[in-house]
Amino acid sequence: MTRAVLVDAVRTPSGKGKAGGALAGVHPADLLAGVLAALVERNGLDPGRVDDVIGGCVSQVGEQTMNVTRTAVLAAGFPETVPATTVDRQCGSSQQAVHFAAQGVVAGAYDIVIACGVESMSRVSLDAPFQGADVFGAGVRARYPEGLVSQGVAGELVAARWKIDREACDEFALRSHQRAAAAVSSGWFDGEIVPVQLDDRVHSTDETVRPGTSAEALAGLKPAFYDGALAERFPTVDWVITPGNSSPLTDGASAVLLMSEEMAAKLGLRPRAAFRGFAVAGDDPLLMATGPIPATRKVLDRAGLELDQIDTFEVNEAFASVPLAWSQELGVDLERVNPWGGAIALGHPLGASGTRLLGTLVNQLERTDGRYGLQTMCERGGLANALIVERLS
């Protein structure tokens, strides 16, 4: 069987996803084009040899519609013959792009493929795709007559179900910023970040990391998703999710270069990691953020591995309650989870987060001489992706 390997991973630094954010002036297609161009340039790869570019993007409306990945491929200067497509599995969109890309290599459909993602949350708002429409229809409303809830409220439901209090959420958020700040100061991100040239300067550092945050500052923030009617419906919810223990709105793009092991050898490129397993899972769409739990179990089973064989985990920090519930349910020591910080500090540019996590995961395995890494993330609708990589060099 052909083995799919990862050769390289790059990303932009994060930008705050609002007006005035560092990357707010950059069109999302150009944001993605920058990492695509950097990926082929730093590997000396003729872009014309790329069989496909698979990109993730969640809010595919406005500047991010009409197959933004293809637009970015053209903006990056790739030959017109290089195809591209854009996929949507909500927050896991670019992780799903990785799954599709690697599976295509294993199947023999691709020799060289790029998986990537982009989200400009400053230019395309999170609610822009809804346009005031009913996105569920009669069938879903009949199945869930009391109604589904937003992701933030789902994060609250998870906290209530696993009895995760405000102090635990804030402590986790503080740890995320401290770890990310330490990684930045140690230069750990330098190998994966592609600086973005702006009109007046170069943006090269994650804008969302707050080295000076404190437990006191986090404790002073108000709950972000409190609603009186929902408080009556869910009396066990303590409303512990705040802007401080949630991932911020973020702009960013990321990309990974995948190919067959044989092609890497032919081109003289170093394969850094191989893919050992993939899984996608569905779970309760009301709780929504619990999908990483069954997805993790599923991918371990598919790979024939046990939890204690995994050296490091990347679990997306949509809200602090998500990795906290995941670790509690599976019995994973948080010391092995998101060692360079997570989305609470590094940001969550929805469509780009999956490939961002993968690059950080492989870099951490290389830094620590670890062998196996597992990545998972929750997605709207009660979905989750999970994958396992094995470090090769």
- Residue 19 near residue 51 (C-beta atoms within 8 A): no
Best CA proximity match to 341, nearest among 365, 364, 368, 309: 364
Q: How far is CA 15 from the centre of its chain?
A: 15
Q: Is 169 a catalytic residue?
A: no
CA–CA separation, 245 and 219 (whole Å): 10
Nearest to 353 by CA among 326, 324, 384: 384
- In degrees rounded to 5, what are phi and psi of residue 182? -65, -40
383 Cα distance to chain centroid: 14
Residue 91 falls in the annotated catalytic set:
yes
With tokens 């730093």, the residue in question is 42
Cα separations (Å) of 336 from 187, 313, 317, 332, 381? Answer: 20, 6, 14, 8, 27
91, 99, 116, 177: which one is catalytic? 91
Could you say which DSSP state residue 255 is in?
E
**In whole angstroms, what is the distance from residue 92 CA to residue 94 CA?**
6
- Rounded distance between C-alpha atoms, residue 248 and residue 379, angstroms: 16
Residue type, 26: V
Write down the catalytic residue from 57, 116, 169, 378: 378
Active site residues: 91, 348, 378
